[in-house]
Structure 1
């Protein structure tokens, strides 16, 4: 006995895809920037210094003195002479008081007191150590006005191009199923 057989034949379906990729470009331009730095305003005011030169001692060393200095010096010398003269007169009085002791005190005193011993000593040379110099510096006033920098920026937007992609779907082969009975 023959039993019929079932025979199946299938053809698979095939899908065809055509893909167009998307394209994207982004371009960023550099920013345009300018920076300027103005100079600061600066004002300097310098007061002059004060110099003092005292050469009085150098002139005194040369024996060139002012009237006041010369007077003070002569007063000191005169005071010494007066004190020496006072001592001499006192001593001579004591000698005269003892005249009875012998000798000739009046003649001896006259001999001692005749003549005058006078010596003049000119001054030396002026030296730099005798000149007194003092300096007082003047103050400096410095005024600075700061200036801010000038910064300018020009923003540039990016260039953006986009082309979307797509997918085309097609049936390249249709599916098929054949069923047969074979005896």
Structure 2
């Protein structure tokens, strides 16, 4: 017995694709900034220091005195010397009145007036210790600082986005087919 045979042959389809890739560009511009720092306000007030030097006593010690004080000093010294002279002459007069009782009165008076008192030796031009008085009033400084806040302005820039979409197109390279044959 002969059977009927069926033969089937197929050809696969082949599809071709044209692909265009997408293109994407993203740029982020820097932020726009402006920063300003105002200078601080500084105020300074000073009171000067004062040095007071009183050398009046030191000047007196070395003989440097004002004309008015000098005249007063010499008048006082002159008055004192006159009084000493009057007292000496009165004493010598009494001694001369008592010459009968005291025989060496003239010799004693002559001896006192002949030999002067010895001169004082030493350094007179050095002032005494502590004769210069110093007084210092300290200087004062007041500082006032007012700080200033910075002025900042910033603007964020949006990103720049450029996008070109891709494209896919297809075409048939080989069409599919089926062939069927009967063999007896």
**The two structures share one fold, judged by TM-score above 0.5:** yes
TM-score scaled by structure 1? 0.61
Return the alpha-carbon distance in structure 1 between the equivalents of residues 33 and 46 of structure 2. Answer: 41
Find the aligned partners of 1:10 and 1:31 in 2 and give their Cα distance: 65
Aligned residue runs from structure 1 range 18-167, under 5 A: 18-64=18-64, 107=104, 111=108, 114-115=112-113, 117=117, 119=119, 123-125=124-126, 131-167=132-168
Identify which range, 118-127 or 57-66, moves more after superposition.
118-127
**What TM-score does the superposition give when structure 2 sets the normalisation length?**
0.60
Q: Which runs of 5 or more residues in structure 2 are unaligned?
A: 74-101
Residue 34 of structure 1, CA deviation: 1.6
The change in CA–CA distance for 1:106 and 1:20 in structure 2 (over 3 A counts) is: farther
**1:51, distance to aligned residue in structure 2 (A):** 0.6
How many residue pairs get aligned? The number is 148
| 1:71-107 alpha-carbon deviations (Å, 9 max, x no partner) | 9xxxxxxxxxxxxxxxxxxxxxxxxxxxxxxxxx995
Structure 1, unaligned stretches of length 5 or more?
72-104
Per-residue deviation, 1:125: 4.7
State whether residues 48 and 138 of structure 1, in contact with CA within 8 Å, keep that contact through their aligned partners in structure 2: yes
Report what 2:170 is aligned to. 169
Q: Secondary structure of 2:108's partner?
A: helix
- RMSD of equivalent CA atoms: 3.8
Q: What is the CA-CA distance between 1:46 and the residue it aligns to?
A: 0.3
> Is the contact between residue 60 and residue 123 of structure 1 (CA under 8 Å) also seen in structure 2?
no
Q: In the superposition, relative to structure 1, how do residues 162 and 65 fare at CA in structure 2: closer, same or farther (>3 Å)?
A: same
